[in-house]
Structure 1
């Protein structure tokens, strides 16, 4: 109580004062910029994974496509385009010129002989056959006595290429043949013609297969009639 009739009420500070609430530490919140960075990094990573996966799919598809094409080509090469052996055939042999005389003193034979040989090269393949230059040989008892060049050429698919060759005897190669005298006196000269052609068959312009064709003919020539009295030919082809 104080003077002057005024009433003052003193509150008990200690009684009415409430304790302050304890301040809890705030959790740091992610800033918008950091969230954008994280989401952007995830997007890039996903894009890279997709690219790698697409790349692997493309590579696998390309390999499978290549294998499929290769298998198809291989099947065609050995079925529809399977290489066949070209055939060399001697169609006819004729005597163009024959002069034979015997020198009894020297026991020497003078022989002048020219043969016309008609042959054909048949290509049964569906693709062209190319062969290199070669020669046709004329043989007497295993000895080469004449030859004619055969130029390189190409035979179209499934076609036959005719050739005409002239084989002329090289007289100087018969000077040492003692059997020739007895053959001329007997009236029959045994000869042999031989032709070998080597080339390649190109299948689909990818596979090149070597082929070889040859023909060998044994024939007897009559000295008096000046013609071929007998002819027997053998043919051989191989890949």
Structure 2
């Protein structure tokens, strides 16, 4: 008997019962692995679809915000300015003017946006020679989409602000007093309740007041807005 024959005889043959068990275990492992892969792939698909939907929603809101709901500049317009009270007298001895002046200003704030516009408290200002001589505050408010808000402001002169204005003597003697009214509104346009954009709107009016007739003889206004 050769050594090769001996080694063949000593090797224990695999029993018939062991082979089926090994095959069944491999099939079970393969099936479990397939299920795990399917679950993982399903989760990946769900995540990808969710991200795509979120991206689509964000893109839709962004496009709407930049097109249909693109912020537009509110416009402040001074419609009329009238004199409620005017008293002017010249103190020749002390070379000064005693002046009492109250102006009634009608203005409108137009919101051309498709969304609401809200603004904080502000003031209408009265100036003479670049110097503040009167101020009238007005409260915060909001304007609906594509609406116009009328506002009425009363500007009363602070007489003590003009005590040192020698130029006023010459203006009163000439019969005309040039003043300036200025209104500035700062607010926000809320686009789709996501984007809040700061907006400034102002109106400046150069006014000439007749001392003898006690009325406004000239009024030149300009408006400006800034996003």
Same fold (TM over 0.5): yes
1:123 aligns with 2:111: yes
1:71 aligns with 2:40: no
Query: What does residue range 13-162 of structure 1 map to in structure 2 within 5 Å?
Result: 25-29=12-16, 30=18, 33-162=21-150
C-alpha distance in structure 2 between counterparts of 1:168 and 1:23, whole Å? 121
Q: Which moved more, 1:116-125 or 1:99-108?
A: 99-108
Match of 1:206 in 2: 194
Q: Which has the larger radius of gyration?
A: 1
Which ranges of structure 1 fall in alignment gaps of 5 or more residues?
1-21
Q: What whole-Å deviation, never above 9, does each CA across 1:11-30 have from its counterpart, x for those lacking one?
A: xxxxxxxxxxx898522442
How many residues in Structure 1 have an aligned counterpart in Structure 2?
218
Which ranges of structure 2 fall in alignment gaps of 5 or more residues?
1-8
Match of 1:176 among 152, 159, 164: 164
Deviation at 1:34, TM superposition (A): 4.6
1:233 aligns with 2:221: yes
SS in 2 for 1:37: helix
C-alpha distance in structure 2 between counterparts of 1:54 and 1:127, whole Å? 41
C-alpha distance in structure 2 between counterparts of 1:33 and 1:153, whole Å? 82
SS in 2 for 1:183: helix
Q: What whole-Å deviation, never above 9, does each CA across 1:27-59 have from its counterpart, x for those lacking one?
A: 244265554433322222111111111111111
Match of 1:13 in 2: none
| Structure-2-length-normalised TM-score | 0.92
Q: What whole-Å deviation, never above 9, does each CA across 1:121-167 have from its counterpart, x for those lacking one?
A: 00011100000111000000100000000211000111100000000
C-alpha distance in structure 1 between counterparts of 2:127 and 2:225, whole Å? 21
CA RMSD of aligned residues (A): 1.6
Match of 1:3 in 2: none
C-alpha distance in structure 1 between counterparts of 2:48 and 2:153, whole Å? 58
C-alpha distance in structure 1 between counterparts of 2:71 and 2:154, whole Å? 31
